[in-house]
Structure 1
Amino acid sequence: MRLNLISKLALASGLVLLCTIALFAYLNLRSLKGLLLQEAIAEADRVSETIIRTTHNQMLRDDRPLFYKTIQELGAQQGVERIRLINKTGRIIFSTDDAEIGTVLSKYSEVCGVCHGGPQLLLTASSMHRSRRFFAPSGEEFLGITNAIYNEESCYTASCHFHPEKLKVLGVLDVVVPLDRMHSLIVAYRDRMLFLTLLLITLTSISLTFFTQKLVNRPVRELLKHTHMLSRGELDGSVPSFANDELGELADSFNAMTLNLKKAREELEGWGRDLEQMVQQRTLEVTRMQAQLIRSEKLASLGELVAGIAHEINNPLTGIMVFSSLIQSAPTLDPALKRDIETVLRETKRCAEIVKGLLEFARCAPPQKAPCSLNEISDAALELVRHQILFQDVTIVRQYAGRLPALHLDSNQIEQVLVNMFVNAGHAMMGEGMLIVVTGLDQKTATAFVKITDNGCGIPEANLDKIFDPFFSTKSSKGTGLGLSVSYGIVQEHGGRIEVESQEGVGTTFTVLLPMHPAPSASLPAPDDAGAESSAPA
Structure 2
Amino acid sequence: MRLNLISKLAIATSLVLLSTMALYAYLNFRSLQGLLLQEAISEADRISETILRATHNQMLRDDRPLFYKTIEEMGSQQGVERIRLINKTGRIIFSTDGAETGTLLQKDAKVCSVCHGGAHLLLTASSKHRSRRFFRAGGGELLGITNAIYNEESCYTASCHFHPESFKVLGILDVVVPLDRMYSVLDAYRNRSIALTLLVLTLTALCITLLTQKLVNRPVRELLEHTQMLSRGELDGLVHSFANDEMGELAESFNAMTLNLKRAREDLEGWGRDLEEMVQQRTYEVTQMQAQLIRSEKLASLGELVAGIAHEINNPLTGILVFSSLIQSNQKLDETLKNDIETVIRETKRCAGIVKGLLEFARCSTPQKELHCLNEISEAALTLIQHQILFQDITIIREYDEGLPLLLIDANQIEQVLVNMFVNAGHAMLGEGVLHIATGADPDQRQAYIAIHDNGCGIPQENLTKIFDPFFSTKANKGTGLGLSVSYGIVQEHGGHIDVVSEVGVGTSFTVTLPLPEQAATSPAHTSRQASLEESSSPPCA
Structure 1 length-normalised TM: 0.49
Q: Which protein is bigger by CA-based radius of gyration? A: 1
Structure 2 length-normalised TM: 0.48
